[in-house]
């Protein structure tokens, strides 16, 4: 199994998961061109895609979907609430029902060699989910755009060989920043986004002997910096776990270009 974050941030998100037989995306919140170019950088043609799995209907997760469907006929998988919202936003009526497939939280979907399991998360969207992908005894878990995590989040992500976790904002930067008060409250609330510290707290609950790689993802352009997110999460690992040298690789997913391709 190979994983690549093609883009990750408050301005657009797209994750590739594939192997020699199958290829999927989780979200397509950037332009068709950027998706195609990102796939080309890892040797994958868009015609090879088996599906796009959508977490929720906010524009930074769906903006590229209509053109990916129109140009390549890629099947779209999402919860019923997300599909309804996606269709309402399809002003040009590009999305045909034959390309849309409903899934349900906690019910795995098989796509070739992959078993993809959606699980509910707390965010201000219609029916949002995060995903785990399992193949050949390996597990990839992703969780972004969640205002909080709970025991169910931890349970679903447990045992992952690789994780992509939200580290959206530095709380002090957000509180002192230029955002309107209402937006600050939304981001800090239980249906908003995880802070750097909360990301570190979640990671502390997911560390196990086979964890190999962690991406910190969905950073705010205005309220965070890559190095700040990295150091804040690492500090949390030291405070809770006493870790000074990490037994796994950890990096921040790039906002505007593909990150490292990781093989499990």
Does 3.60.15.10 match the CATH number of domain 2-263? Answer: yes
Predicted local distance difference test score (pLDDT) of residue 244: 87
pLDDT in tens for each of the 264 residues of the chain? 999 999 999 889 999 999 999 999 999 999 999 999 999 999 999 999 999 999 999 999 999 999 999 999 999 999 999 999 999 999 888 898 899 999 999 999 999 999 999 999 999 999 999 999 999 999 999 999 999 999 999 999 999 999 999 999 999 999 999 999 999 999 999 999 999 999 999 999 999 999 999 999 999 999 999 999 999 999 999 999 999 899 999 999 999 999 999 999
Amino acid 85: pLDDT: 95
Whole-model pTM: value is: 0.96
Domain boundaries, the chain: 2-263
Cβ atoms of residues 19 and 10 within 8 Å: no
Distance between CA atoms of residues 241 and 207, nearest Å: 10
> What CA–CA distances, in Å, run from 93 to 12, 51, 101, 145, 157?
22, 20, 17, 27, 36
The torsion angles phi and psi of 102, rounded to 5 degrees, stand at -85, 135
Residue 185, helix vs strand vs coil: helix
Check the CA dihedral 264-147-229-179 and report its sign: positive
Instruction: From 217, 253, 27, 226, select the one nearest 128 (Cα to Cα).
Output: 27
């Amino acid at each position: 199994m190979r994983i690549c974050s093609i883009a990750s941030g408050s301005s657009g998100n797209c994750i590739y998961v594939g192997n020699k037989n199958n290829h999927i995306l989780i979200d397509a919140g950037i332009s068709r061109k950027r998706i195609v170019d990102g796939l080309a950088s890892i040797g994958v043609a868009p015609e090879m895609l088996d599906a796009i799995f959508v977490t929720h209907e906010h524009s930074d997760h769906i903006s590229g979907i209509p053109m990916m469907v129109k140009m390549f006929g890629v099947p779209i998988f999402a919860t019923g609430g997300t599909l309804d919202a996606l269709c309402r936003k399809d002003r040009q009526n590009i999305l045909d029902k034959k390309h849309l497939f409903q899934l349900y939280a906690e019910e795995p979907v098989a796509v070739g060699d992959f078993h993809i399991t959606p699980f509910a998360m707390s965010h201000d969207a219609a029916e949002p989910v995060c995903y785990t992908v399992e193949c050949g005894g390996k597990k990839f878990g992703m969780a972004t755009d969640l205002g909080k995590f709970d025991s169910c989040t931890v349970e679903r992500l447990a045992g992952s060989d690789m994780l992509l976790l939200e580290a959206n904002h530095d709380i002090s930067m957000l509180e002192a920043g230029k955002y309107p008060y209402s937006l600050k409250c939304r981001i800090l609330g239980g249906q908003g986004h995880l802070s750097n510290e909360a990301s570190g707290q979640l990671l502390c609950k997911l560390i196990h002997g086979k964890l190999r790689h962690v991406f910190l993802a969905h950073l705010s352009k205005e309220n965070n910096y890559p190095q700040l997110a990295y150091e804040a999460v690492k500090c949390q690992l030291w405070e809770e776990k006493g870790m000074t040298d990490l037994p796994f690789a950890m990096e921040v997913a790039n906002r505007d270009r593909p990150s490292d391709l990781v093989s499990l």
